[in-house]
Structures are given as structure tokens and as C-alpha cells.
Amino acid sequence: MSAAALDATADGTNVALTATGAWTVERAAELERIVDAAARRYQAAPSIDIDLAKLERLDTFGAWLIERLKRTLIAAGATARIVGLSDSDRGLIEELRLVNQVAAQRHARPNPAVAALDSVGRAVAEMGWSLVLIAHLLGALTMAALRTITHPTRLRLTSIVHHLERVGWRAVPIILLSTFVIGAILAQQGIFRFRSFGADIYVVDMVSVLVLREVGVLIVCVMVAGRSGSAYTAELGAMKMREEIDALRTMGLDPIEVLVLPRVIALVIAVPLLTFLGSMAALYGAGLVCWLYGGMAPEIFLERLREAIWLPTFEVGMIKAPFMALTIGLVACVEGFEVDGSAASLGQRTTASVVKSIFLVIALDGMFAMFFAGIGM
């Protein structure tokens, strides 16, 4: 296969361009340069023949470039025509004569400042919109819950138990491990700082109040959002992509009742239980570190613990748990239903589900802190 080329012979005002070699995809970049150079050079020529008789091979890329050359020359005012067309190439050249009458639009890059403002604006609007969607789903979920209360047979017990196993039971080891480590770290840091004041014993106050009121439930919620919220979003999103949700709807079933309610109920049951287990594990870790690192006997730790906390300390953490579970469940399901046809949107929505639910859990925690301070708990 010889290299592709475009040889020119001028005969008075008439220019003959002879294409030789293989005008194919492998040489497309080189051919484009040749064609552009020829177009620039001969744009003033009044009459141009493009001779294809000596071509070895021609494919769409070559044929289009020849067509483009012809169009450029004609646009510059010349009479250009294609000659020497073999029968095998005729169909292709004919086909390409019809295409590209309307050029593809390249979107101009917007001003970066405007683009930045645009994306900030969109993000804010999207956040607001997702709050609206959460409220919407909360309403639909309440209606579904009320319906199942009036018709208890419609409650999907099997589904709830299945999801409880996934989000609750199977999460126990990792929750225990991470809260245990967090408790141990808090205690270690506390002992290290408090010792300089000779106030080692107050470590127990700090750790127990922190764990039971705030850290236990927050750690559990972050874990659950990452572990189960993301799974909910991905599942519902994939179901939406494969039209499974539409199928449910056409069978007269309410996707909220069938898909969302069991998942959210499972979370609302599982998260308080996990919070309890997590808090205990954290206290256990703290006690162990106090004993081994701080030299505080377990009896003293327990004695101090009894004085440091009272029932409301524990209640504050536990009361928050179901509300946070509800938030995580709602955000996860809203994001799942927002998935559209593309694989990328599934990924985006799963990320958004985790990020938004963690953020909302923290925001909710802040509101609870104000509320409990207000009522003196």
C-alpha cells in the first residue's frame, strides 16, 4: 500500500488533482492536512478536477475528505468536480455528498466566572429542590404508613425482616469495631490532656456524656448512611433504570409502599439498636483504655460512670436515632428515584445520597442539641 497523496497538474486555468494510494482511516490525520493544503492553494483556480482513478482504497474518511475538498473549492468560487470514479467507490462518494449539510455545533466555552456562579446557583437550587422532594416523600410515606395501619395485612413483613438483616444484623460487627475504637481514642486523648491538670477521673465524664449523647449516634449514622443509604439509592436507581418501578406501578402497586416503607421501617428499627450497641462498645473501649493506659481500675471507672451520667444522657442519644434513621432512609430513597437513564447518574446519585444524608444528620443533630438545651435535658 503506497502512501496517500494528492498530485496536482496545472493545465492553463484548469487544475487536475490526482488522488493516489489508500485514502483510509489509518491516514485520516495526514489526509486532512493534504486536503486542507490543497484547498488553500487552489482556491483561486477557476476549474478543478479531482481524479480518483488511481486510488487504491477508499473508505468513509477518505471519501468525506474528498467531498470536503470539493465543497471548500466550490465555496471559494471554483468549479470542482470528481472524475475517474470507480464503480466500487461511487456508492460511497454519492452517500457522502448528502451528509454534513448542517455542521455539528461545538458549544462555546462560557466565561469561567459565569460558569462558577452558574454551578453554585445550580447546587443551591438542587439542595432546595431535594428538600422539597424529601418533604414530598415523607408525605407519601406517611400516607403509606397510615394505609398499612388501617390494613395491617398490607405490611410487608418479609421485606422488613430481610432489610433488617441487611442494614441491622450484618452491620453489627463493623459498628461495634468502629465505635469501640472511637471510644478508646477519646479516652486515650482525654487521659493524656486531663492528666496535666491531675483530673484523670473526669475523663469518664467526658467520654460517657460525649458517647451517649452525640458520638455514638453520629458514628452509627455515618456508617449506616455509607453502608445502607448508598445501597438503597443504588438499588432503587437500578430498578428505576430497568423500568422495574414503572412495572410495579402498572400492576397497581405503590412503589412507596412496596419499596420505600419496608426499607425505612428497617432503618428506623435498626439504627437505635445499633446506636445502643455502638455506645456500649465505645464505653467498653474507653473503660479498657482507662484501665490499661490510664491505670484506672474498672471498679473506679464504673463508679465514676454511675455519677457522671443519668438516664436522660442515654435518652438524648436514643431519641435522636430513629429521626436520623428516617432522614437517611428518605434521602437515600429520594436520590434513588431521581436516577435517570445513565450509569453516571447512578454514581452521582449514590454519592449525593451519602453526602446529603450525612450533612442532614449533622444538621438535625444541631437542632436536637438546641432543643434539648431548651428543655433542659
User: Which residues contact other proteins by CB under 8 A?
Assistant: 24-25, 28-29, 32, 59-61, 64-65, 68, 88, 91-92, 95-96, 98-100, 102-106, 340-345
Helix ranges restricted to H, the chain? 28-41, 60-75, 87-97, 112-150, 157-167, 172-194, 202-210, 216-224, 230-241, 244-250, 255, 261-292, 298-308, 311-337, 343-375
- Write down the least CB distance from residue 58 to other proteins, Å: 10
Which of 97/166 has CB closer to other proteins? Answer: 97
Measured CA to CA, the distance from residue 310 to residue 180 in angstroms comes to 21
- Write down the least CB distance from residue 345 to other proteins, Å: 8
Which of 102/370 has CB closer to other proteins? Answer: 102
DSSP state of 309: -
CB-CB contact of 83 with 53 (8 Å)? yes
Which of 118/340 has CB closer to other proteins? Answer: 340
Measured CA to CA, the distance from residue 225 to residue 351 in angstroms comes to 10
- Write down the least CB distance from residue 66 to other proteins, Å: 12
Which of 71/147 has CB closer to other proteins? Answer: 71
Measured CA to CA, the distance from residue 249 to residue 252 in angstroms comes to 5
- Write down the least CB distance from residue 234 to other proteins, Å: 15
Measured CA to CA, the distance from residue 327 to residue 113 in angstroms comes to 35
Measured CA to CA, the distance from residue 64 to residue 74 in angstroms comes to 15
- Write down the least CB distance from residue 260 to other proteins, Å: 23
Which of 64/180 has CB closer to other proteins? Answer: 64
At 11, phi and psi to the nearest 5?
A: -130, 90
Which of 119/142 has CB closer to other proteins? Answer: 119
Q: Is 12 helix (H, G, I), strand (E, B) or coil?
A: coil
Measured CA to CA, the distance from residue 283 to residue 184 in angstroms comes to 8
| Bridge partner residues of 79 (DSSP) | 47
- Write down the least CB distance from residue 67 to other proteins, Å: 9
> Angle, to 10 degrees, between the axis of helix 216-224 and the axis of helix 172-194?
140
Measured CA to CA, the distance from residue 49 to residue 39 in angstroms comes to 13
Which of 121/347 has CB closer to other proteins? Answer: 347
- Write down the least CB distance from residue 11 to other proteins, Å: 31
- Write down the least CB distance from residue 377 to other proteins, Å: 49
Which of 62/294 has CB closer to other proteins? Answer: 62
